[in-house]
Amino acid sequence: MANHKSSLKRIRQEQSRRLFNRYYAKTMRSAVRKLRATTDKSEAEAMLPKVTKMLDKLAKVNIIHKNKASNLKSKLTVLVNKMA
């Protein structure tokens, strides 16, 4: 166990950040899954900008890697464009 006040504070900060990051990463994964499961093109087109915005924000604060965000956005855009 840590002995310094600063170490204890760092542990508390890391716990709260980890919870924050896990929540937003899980929310993002759920949104991507929901978009992939959608069969209605108009609904998917409405969801795509929201999911894209979420991915960009998470990449900006390093919750996910910027290349992962880019790959997901690309694949989702192709998926939505292919819908009949």
pLDDT band at residue 81, thresholds of 50, 70 and 90? very high
Q: Kindly give the interhelix angle for 5-37 and 66-82, rounded to the nearest 10 degrees.
A: 10
How far apart are the C-alpha atoms of 57 and 54, rounded to whole Å? 5
For residue 28, the 8-state DSSP code is H
Residues 11-59: pLDDT tens digits? 999 999 999 999 999 999 999 999 999 999 999 999 999 999 999 999 9
| Neighbour count for residue 35 (Cβ, 10 Å) | 19
What is the domain partition of the chain in residue ranges? 32-84
How far apart are the C-alpha atoms of 46 and 53, rounded to whole Å? 12
